[in-house]
Chains A and B, each alone.
Chain A
């Protein structure tokens, strides 16, 4: 699989604020990368640099080997970017809007007609093509923008929070569209706060916080690695909860402990052997444990454990 997007030591400053700090990651063709991070982490900034709308202070981004610094026009031919918000043209119908952008990409005659029919069909806009853009609902506008993004058949798609403001139906549809696009061999980079959404379609993730990339890799990898650093465990014992709580809070490695459903939920730093030590400690202290269940880690846990939610 060839690399579609390569971010190399990307740094972008706004005055004193370092919005993106030495970020590096890559996406291969056919891959869907979830780009997650709290508000203000630098997701949009990174994506705008990738899309040539902004320029890095240091580092570079290569799209199919073409640099955003040296050849922005070459990059724009290869990439489709869907910003998190976009304006509408007045007095313009869906069909006219798409036709305009198809022309700007140099599509002519029959090619243009074929491409327009294809994207309208793909995004389900055909029945709406004579509607005015300004009268579309949020979800429909989102589709229109996606359709516009597909017009020049880009190899890489960058979608900035495409699911924001969509109802559950629309989200499912969007998810299917994105999957279908990846199936066509396109690389997709998608940022979102809705992690359950992402975990169902992404093949890999990059976690960013305060401008720094905290983790990258396939979803499984990142979760496994997160698990070696951090676990959540539910413990129930015959001993009184207070005693159990006291013991657990005194145990090294346990970060927090709180009572829940007749037992205690622990946040434990460390890997699985640390859990084994914890069980031994419970038994040795005569706590008579009757349930010890590590919680399955998902993207949400990864997100919460890797990022402190600080806003910069």
Chain B
């Protein structure tokens, strides 16, 4: 052995413990995942295939550009070349990488493997973070390996440096977001069939998302001045923060799924839903530039209610009991316990959650109007809509879910109750129209009946229809809903107040 080789070896043996010590700080899942993917085939194959593809496409683009450029014309091939390379990169980091995160989370789900993971005392949060981190590492490897191509693209001229960094940044954030989504989706499907459906759904979302990114990058490269437009930047910031809220929601959803069934799987998601809606409202406020545009405000409230109702669909069908572990962790003060009602798990508390979220949006709409304009800017019809929207939600969510309250402990019943709520909502729109058609009620046949939230709200906003019938329906429906839900609400409140305050020794 030569002296140099010996020295090299010595450096290596000195470095190895250092690497070990560094890896001590890392998430164990990340370490395991990286080792597995280095031994496995998926990453290697996707890595080399993508690089080869990028090389070929890049060469192709150059050939076409060269041959189509007439003599004397300025030779600027940067943007075309960059977009071609970027497309390959985006496909790799936004489709292949999240997909491998989906598969790797799926392999954890095998019940027996997962039990061992639970016993290892890793928190669900650590597991999900580890999975997303290892997706990020894979994505970064792709970016690093594409470095030479990107430098070459820059040398071909015609590229805006800011635009390059924005494109790369956006595709990296997109890759993280989609990996979060993939991990969350994977933790939803444990059955074979569910897994397959989720896989198809994920593939569609990934490909769609990637095409949006590529299209955006193409546009930005061809017209870089777009980036200097403040509206564009504001739109980007809004999109980024909403994406962050959505990613956080998926993250919370995945953590909730990985937690023990008796653990609190609901509070995190409830908080994230409210935070997501709040971010949306905040952007609606900023984009308006502090002058109230009723259309934007009402639009935001409507979208907010749709999101809230969708989330509540799951919360309102949770088993009613708090569970012993959750009950043991309730705060001591009875007042705080009652105030926490909308955020605690349980179907009845899901209804309270919906009402509170809805009140939050109304408060925003009214407060915004008063603070920005110093008066109420809404017409009576718009105010009617602001009241009607939550009531429709309460009725369509509260009445059907109350029928299942006793049997929500069963997973199957929970699934059925959700299907019943959704089909009930659709039937409430379709059936009266059918009745109107059969019995010759022209308004009903045109879907203008009090059960159809869409036309009713539309009429309220335009204040041209006759939505008086809707008032009767809303009052009657709300009363029925309250009557049906009263017992479960009382039970829930009593359970919260009576839970023993055991001193939990959890560190």
Contacts and interface: CB of A to CB of B under 8 A. Distances in A.
B118 interface: yes
B35 A86 contact: no
B28 A104 contact: yes
A238 B288 CA distance: 111
Interface string B296-332: 0000000000000000000000000001110010000
A85 interface: yes
Nearest to B263: A72
Interface stretch (B106-114, B167-175, B340-348): B106-114
Contacts, number: 93
Given A55-B325, A96-B32, A70 B504 contact: yes
A180 interface: no
Contacts of B260: 52, 55, 72
Contacts of B117: 104
A278 interface: no
Contacts of B32: 89, 92, 96, 100
Interface in B4-53: 20-21, 24, 28, 31-32, 35-37, 39-40
B325 A69 contact: yes
B31 A81 contact: no
Q: Which of B20, B115, B116 has the most CB of A within 10 A?
A: B116
A66 B507 CA distance: 12
A90 B40 contact: yes
Contacts of B112: 83, 85-87
Contacts of A77: 121
12 contacts: A52-B260, A55-B325, A66-B505, A77-B121, A86-B113, A87-B112, A88-B113, A91-B40, A101-B116, A104-B120, A104-B121, A109-B24
B371 interface: no
B121 A103 contact: no
A301 to B, nearest CB: 34
B212 interface: no
Q: Which of B28, B36, B119, B261 has the most CB of A within 10 A?
A: B119
Nearest to A132: B39
B148 to A, nearest CB: 29
B506 interface: yes
A105 B28 CA distance: 9
Interface in B493-507: 502, 504-507
A103 B31 contact: yes
A83 B114 CA distance: 11
B262 interface: yes
A100 B28 contact: yes
Interface in B70-121: 107, 110-113, 115-121
B506 to A, nearest CB: 5
Contact of A55 (B28, B31, B40, B324): B324
B324 A73 contact: no
Given A89-B113, A91-B37, A92-B35, 20 more contacts: A51-B119, A52-B119, A53-B118, A70-B328, A70-B504, A73-B507, A86-B112, A88-B113, A92-B32, A92-B36, A92-B39, A99-B31, A100-B28, A100-B32, A101-B116, A104-B120, A104-B121, A105-B121, A109-B24, A112-B24
A153 to B, nearest CB: 14
A74 interface: yes
Contacts of B360: none
